[in-house]
Amino acid sequence: MNGNPSPAPEDFAGVQALYDETMADNAHVHDLIYPHVFGPDQYIGQFSDNSANELRLMGSLMQLAPGSRVLDLGCGRGLVAAFLAREMEWSVTGIDLSLVSVAAGRDRDHDVELIAGNVYEHAFPDPFDGIYSTGAACHFDAARLFARARALLRPGGRLAIFERTRLGDIDADDWNRLTRDWKCPHVYTTQEYGELLAVAGFRVRHVVDTTERFRLWQERSVDARKALREEIVAATSPDYFETSLALAAYEHDVSKKGLLGYAAVIAEAVS
């Protein structure tokens, strides 16, 4: 692990509190900022650092037929699920720990089933053809998550993880800010994902590095916050604005140092 610690225990109560309390009002600020980050036709309400084109690419590389049953793991408001259901003609079920996000998603009346719950505990009636997670797998111990995903997939099914990745050794202070503060057990490299997927019974089919544009999105998210200061303050508070700006700038700095990247890892269930 080159100096970075082993995965910490998963903290799902902490994750739920993060989205249902600390960040409960974040969605409308997100809706203000991210059309400027991704471009107006590239923001579909996603919380992850992926444009619509990147989400579409991930969906294409899962190579699942129309009508496939697909699980969105950490679906939030279900807007990515609705997007991919429409684009790929899949039947998508979303699951998320956040009661606030799932309730907001249900209010939108899109054509996906949303479940408020824990993927380890929820009893799904049938195996899935595909499972994906965009920006939510960071809250899981990958070894445990992949074992659970394998159990939920039919043989030949596809698992896609679109997530931040570790590109270099991260010092203790940065490590704590990137993991403990966000209730993330670890930040994995794509190679570690590959090794853990193999142990869980998957064969990696695609690794797509999106770091170049991830850094662009981060840079724009700082610039957009500055440009939208009045609107953000009006919707929240000056303190919220300053905290949000500092956090965005900090993460951009970590990425610029070459320590954080972003990648899609897509694997096939083989055994």
Q: Which residues bind other proteins (CB under 8 A)?
A: 53-54, 56-57, 60-61, 63, 204-209, 212, 266
- Closest separation in Å from C-beta 216 to other proteins: 13
Report the distance separating Cα 159 and Cα 142, nearest Å: 12
- Closest separation in Å from C-beta 56 to other proteins: 8
Report the distance separating Cα 137 and Cα 190, nearest Å: 13
- Closest separation in Å from C-beta 80 to other proteins: 17
Indicate the residue among 102 and 265 with the shorter CB distance to other proteins: 265
- Closest separation in Å from C-beta 63 to other proteins: 6
230 token code pair:
């009045």
- Closest separation in Å from C-beta 206 to other proteins: 3
Taking only Cα atoms into account, the Rg of the chain, rounded to an integer number of angstroms, comes to: 18
Indicate the residue among 96 and 163 with the shorter CB distance to other proteins: 163
Question: Percentage helix, strand, coil, to 5, in the chain?
Answer: 50, 20, 30
Indicate the residue among 56 and 148 with the shorter CB distance to other proteins: 56
* Residues 6 or more apart in contact with residue 46 via CB below 8 angstroms: 34, 52, 55, 79, 80, 83, 134, 135
Indicate the residue among 115 and 204 with the shorter CB distance to other proteins: 204
Report the distance separating Cα 226 and Cα 232, nearest Å: 9
Indicate the residue among 207 and 254 with the shorter CB distance to other proteins: 207
Indicate the residue among 32 and 57 with the shorter CB distance to other proteins: 57
Report the distance separating Cα 75 and Cα 46, nearest Å: 9
- Closest separation in Å from C-beta 159 to other proteins: 14
SS (H, E, C) 217-247: HHHHHHHHHHHCHHHHHHHCCHHHHHHHHHH
Sign of CA dihedral 112, 114, 118, 123: negative
Indicate the residue among 20 and 192 with the shorter CB distance to other proteins: 192
**Three-class SS of residue 94?**
strand
- Closest separation in Å from C-beta 245 to other proteins: 29
